[in-house]
Structure formats: structure tokens, C-alpha cells
Amino acid sequence: MLGLDALELARIQFAFTVSFHIIFPAITIGLASYLAVLEGLWLKTHNEAYRELYHFWSKIFAVNFGMGVVSGLVMAYQFGTNWSFFSEFAGSITGPLLTYEVLTAFFLEAGFLGVMLFGWKPRRPRAALLSPPAWSRSAH
């Protein structure tokens, strides 16, 4: 046996979860900027290749966003399961911060994601250009 106690195992598990989770927000924020550029180029040139690229990458963006939400939920649950004493001690500080993060993730980001994915036809082209930057801003 390696001689690992419960604390070290919890640290290893949380380190893996955080390392896995950070991949998704980083890619998603970068993709939001790329989608804004593609949409701006489509509005300026009316080249259908930019529109098709936008639709292709927006699907990857949506899957990546969903994976980030799921891995973030697992990370939040680990605060309560692996770090219960820490949560009890620092809960009055970390609780409001986690609540703010969850509210912005689920309401602002999911709302802008819905506009980006499902509102392509009913939106005005100028308003469409604001969806990816608004999503990226809400993610910060």
C-alpha cells in the first residue's frame, strides 16, 4: 500500500477534479471570442462559410459549456463531502461566493447560450453580434 490517508486521497481527488474542470471554462471563453469574430465577419462580408463555421463551432461550444457545468457541480459537491470541516469553518465566506457563481453560470451564461444557439433566425443581425461577447463577459 502507498500509505495514503484520507486527507491525502481527498486532496488528490480534488486536484484531479479542479484540473479537469478548468479545461472547460478556458476553452469555452476562448470559443466565445472566436464565435464573436466569426459572426462579425459573416455580418461584414455575408460569406456563408463564416456562418457555417459559426454554427459548427457553436455546437462544440454548447457541449463544452455543458461539460464545464457538470464538472463544476462535482467540484462543488466535493467541498461538502471531502472538505466538510473546511466548509463548516469558512462557509460564511465561501457560501455566498459559490452562490454568486452558480447564479451567474445558470442564469446569465445559460440565457446567452440559448440566444446564441436557438435565436439565430429571430434575432436582428446587430443584436446577434452581441451574444458571444455578452456570454464571455458574464463568464468572467
Tell me the percentage of the chain whose pLDDT exceeds 70: 86
The residue type found at 117 is L
pTM for the whole thing?
0.79
Q: What are residue 72's phi and psi, to 5 degrees?
A: -70, -35
Three-state DSSP class for 5? coil
Higher pLDDT, 114 or 18: 18
* pLDDT tens profile 99-134: 888 787 777 788 878 777 777 666 666 666 677 777
Higher pLDDT, 22 or 125: 22
